[in-house]
Amino acid sequence: MTSLDLFGNLGSESLRLNISEQAILFHQFLAKNDDALLTEVRSVLRRSPLRHLQTPAGHKMSVKSSNCGEYGWLSDRGGYRYQKTDPVTKAAWPKMPSLIRSKAIEAATFAGFADFQPDSCLINVYLPGAKMGLHQDKDETDFEKPIVSFSFGVPITFMWGGFKRSEKYQKFSLQHADALVWGGRDRLRYHGVQQLKEAMHPLTGRCRVNLTIRQAG
């Protein structure tokens, strides 16, 4: 980890942590909008419910997932991909809610990535014991666009690696209302989260809710 400093444009409650050259963690970036953002997530899930995805090898993922936006990210026996329809409902994915989209653009801008136009938001919900192994986000069309990740609820340990899965990784906690942005030279770094520990949060209960917002198309 490198510099930890107050980032004036975000207000005194928010801290900016540079975890590598072009990856920035904004602590408490979403604190003033957390309840409204979670309300938007719940509205999406009423239309496209959570489900366990499968890996191409047939293993069930421990997190439950859904999507909103023009494109949804999927994994099954057919591979990893984006598509415009929800295979559960057979309808288009719900539109990305306005506050989720605007806060993602704002976070990307503060991190130095202009002209971010997100069209996909993957919703992952973790219960105790759920995890996500080291992986790269590489199913998008344009790797020049950053990844924006929002965290809500129970904290989790994030792993930030190198450009090979075998490289050593940093570990740090992602807390409720944190926003993490990475792109540029760091865009294809391996990353993941360790198992969620048993805990409670007043807004999400035993869960961690993660939004991964991308420009996929």
Confidence at residue 1, expressed as pLDDT on a 0 to 100 scale: 31
Q: Decide if pLDDT at 128 tops 60.
A: yes
Confidence at residue 134, expressed as pLDDT on a 0 to 100 scale: 97
Q: Decide if pLDDT at 9 tops 60.
A: no
Confidence at residue 33, expressed as pLDDT on a 0 to 100 scale: 98
The total of other beta-carbon atoms located within 10 Å of residue 180's CB is 26
β-pairing verdict for 64-69 and 120-126? antiparallel
pLDDT band at 11 (very low <50, low <70, confident <90, very high): very low
Mean pLDDT over the full length of the chain: 93
10 Å CB burial of residue 68 (0-12, 13-18, 19+) is: buried
144-171: average pLDDT: 97
Alpha carbon distance 15, 211 (integer Å)? 20
Alpha carbon distance 114, 78 (integer Å)? 34
Give the domain range for residue 152.
4-214
29-42 tens-digit pLDDT: 999 999 999 999 99
Residue whose pair of structure tokens reads 């130095």 in the numeric block: 112
Alpha carbon distance 44, 207 (integer Å)? 17
208-214: average pLDDT: 98
Taking CA atoms, 156 is separated from 37, 89, 144, 171, in Å, by 19, 31, 28, 10
110-128: average pLDDT: 97
Q: Are 215 and 116 in contact (CB under 8 A)?
A: yes
pLDDT band at 101 (very low <50, low <70, confident <90, very high): very high
Taking CA atoms, 35 is separated from 29, 60, 153, 201, 207, in Å, by 13, 30, 11, 12, 15
What is the CATH classification number for the domain harbouring 161? 2.60.120.590
10 Å CB burial of residue 69 (0-12, 13-18, 19+) is: buried
Question: Cα 18 to the chain's mean position, in Å?
Answer: 17
Q: For the chain, what is the domain count?
A: 1
165-184: average pLDDT: 97
* CA-based end-to-end distance of the chain: 32
